[in-house]
Amino acid sequence: MQISSRFTIAIHIFACVETFGEEYKITSDFLASSINVNPVIIRKILSQLRNAGLIEVARGTGGTTVTRPVDKITFYDVYEAVDLLEEGTLFHFHENPNPCCPVGKNIHTALDDKLVCIQRAMEDEMKKFTIADVVNKIKRSM
pLDDT in tens, 73-117: 999 999 999 977 766 778 877 888 999 999 999 999 999 999 999
Range of the domain at 104: 5-141
Sequence-distant (6+) residues with CB within 8 A of 65 are: 17, 21, 26, 55, 56, 58
What φ, ψ does residue 93 adopt, rounded to 5°? Answer: -80, 140
Number of domains making up the chain: 1
Contacts of 93 (CB under 8 A, 6+ apart): 108, 111, 112, 115
Distance CA 69, CA 94 (A): 40
Per 3-state DSSP, what percentage of the chain is helix, strand, and coil (rounded to 5)?
A: 60, 10, 30
Q: What is the DSSP letter of 37?
A: S
CATH number, domain with residue 21: 1.10.10.10
Round to whole Å and give the CA distance between 129 and 132.
Answer: 8
Q: Look at residue 15 and tell me whether its pLDDT is greater than 90.
A: yes
Q: Tell me what percent of the residues of the chain surpass a pLDDT of 70.
A: 94
